[in-house]
Amino acid sequence: MKLPKRVLFSLILLLALLAACTGLPALPNGPDAPPVVDMATESSGQVVAAQELVANGLPATPLVEENAPAGTDPTPNPQPTARLSVATPPRFTATPTATPVPCLTPGRVVSETVPSQLAYGALDVRVFLPPCYSETGQVYPTLYMFAGNTQDESFWDEAGLDEAANEAMLAGEMAPFIIVMADGGWVANNSSGGPNSYEGVIMTEVIPYIEANYCASVHPSRRAIGGLSRGGYWSLEIAFQHPDKFVSVGGHSAALIDSAAGPNINPQYTALSNDLGDLRIYLDIGQDDYLLPNTLRLHEDMAAAGIPHEWHLNEGTHENSYWISRVAEYLDWYAQPWRSGRETYPLCDLN
């Protein structure tokens, strides 16, 4: 039955009066008021009440209207009833293993003059600083290389030792290290061994100078020494006298013909009489080299005594092309104890 409009209006008014008389509580005001929520937005899960945000420890950042008219304040009334926009909290996962950033800065060679009383004032050296040396601030292993009696500190540089090292290090095929290419000069050609000889120049002047002025490691496991011809004699003489100061020594076509070197300093004897510990030893020479007999004898004596060493008898003679053709082979051998790479190097505190 359809009620007349007058009756329907009266019923509505009566219901309103009954509600007012029943004592129903009014909606609260102030901080206890329920939040005003934009229901259309809430359905997307991006808007929550200010009270809920605070309870969950999330920042209560007022919603900013992105397209507010010019000249208006887009920030709404910062009351507890204001709408808040909250970004979805990030999902925390385990930190992935860091991948080292590849080094792209090439190495370089610098010329240096080392003050030396034993070498009559000074000794010239060339220092190869590996890729990113100036950027990483780390301590590097160091290889000391000597040339022959008719050559100087420029030989290994001109032979391409630094270029080969730079290429391998940039490619990640070899851990970076410093290379010091030292001149021999008069003292190397006119002394045989001991503290007042070229041995003294290297041990008491060159190595301390390099380690004081460059980020070169002072740890024996991070030092290597090598040389060719007369420089090969000196690398063996020095390392066999100080086997606890180096991890590796190389004698490349070593000139083991110093008649003034007594058995207490001559590497032909000290290789057998001194305790060489874990010193890595590399001997190589060309089969047509006039210096072969004494180097071959050293190899045979060490083999008979059970002294570990690496021996290479190659094609070739005593000439530059022999050593230049083996630069990469030499570098690879010297680098083997340092395979761990730059990420393991300590920081350099050089002042």
15 domain-assigned: no
pLDDT in tens, the chain (351 residues): 445 555 444 555 455 444 444 444 443 444 444 343 333 333 333 333 333 333 333 333 333 333 333 333 333 333 333 323 323 333 222 233 333 556 889 999 999 999 999 999 999 999 999 999 988 789 999 999 999 999 999 999 999 999 999 999 999 999 999 999 999 999 999 999 999 999 999 999 999 999 999 999 999 999 999 999 999 999 999 999 999 999 999 999 999 999 999 999 999 999 999 999 999 999 999 999 999 999 999 999 999 999 999 999 999 999 999 999 999 999 999 999 998 778 888 899 875
Whole-number pLDDT of residue 6: 52
Three-state secondary structure of the chain: CCCCHHHHHHHHHHHHHHHHHCCCCCCCCHHHCCCCCCHHHHCCCCEECHHHHHHCCCCCCECCCCCCCCCCCCCCCCCCCCCEECCCCCCCCCCCCCCCCCCCCCCEEEEEEEEECCCCEEEEEEEEECCCHHHHCECECEEEEECCCCCCCCHHHHCCHHHHHHHHHHCCCCCCCEEEEECCHHHHHCCCCCCCCHHHHHHHHHHHHHHHHCCECCCHHHEEEEEECHHHHHHHHHHHHCHHHCCEEEEECCCCCCCCCCCCCCHHHHHHHCCCCCCEEEEEEECCCCCHHHHHHHHHHHHHCCCCCEEEEECCCCCHHHHHCCHHHHHHHHHHHHCCCHHHCCECCCC
Whole-number pLDDT of residue 161: 98
Cα–Cα nearest to 162, from 310, 317, 330: 330
From CA 203, how far away is CA 238, in angstroms rounded? 8
Whole-number pLDDT of residue 71: 38
For the chain, state the CA radius of gyration.
40
CB of 291 closer than 8 Å to CB of 263: no
Whole-number pLDDT of residue 132: 92
Whole-number pLDDT of residue 14: 52
Whole-number pLDDT of residue 10: 52
205 domain-assigned: yes
Virtual CA dihedral for 168, 174, 179, 181, nearest 10 degrees?
-50
Whole-number pLDDT of residue 89: 31
Neighbours of 57 (CB within 10 A): 6
Containing structural domain, residue 297:
108-344
Cα–Cα nearest to 241, from 285, 271, 209, 197: 271
State the CATH number of the domain containing residue 288.
3.40.50.1820
46 domain-assigned: no
98 domain-assigned: no
Whole-number pLDDT of residue 177: 97
49 domain-assigned: no
334 domain-assigned: yes
83 domain-assigned: no
Whole-number pLDDT of residue 311: 98
The single residue listed with the structure tokens 């000196």 is 234
- Put simply, whether the predicted model's pTM sits higher than 0.85 gets the answer no
From CA 153, how far away is CA 321, in angstroms rounded? 17
14 domain-assigned: no
The total of structural domains in the chain comes to 1
Whole-number pLDDT of residue 57: 35
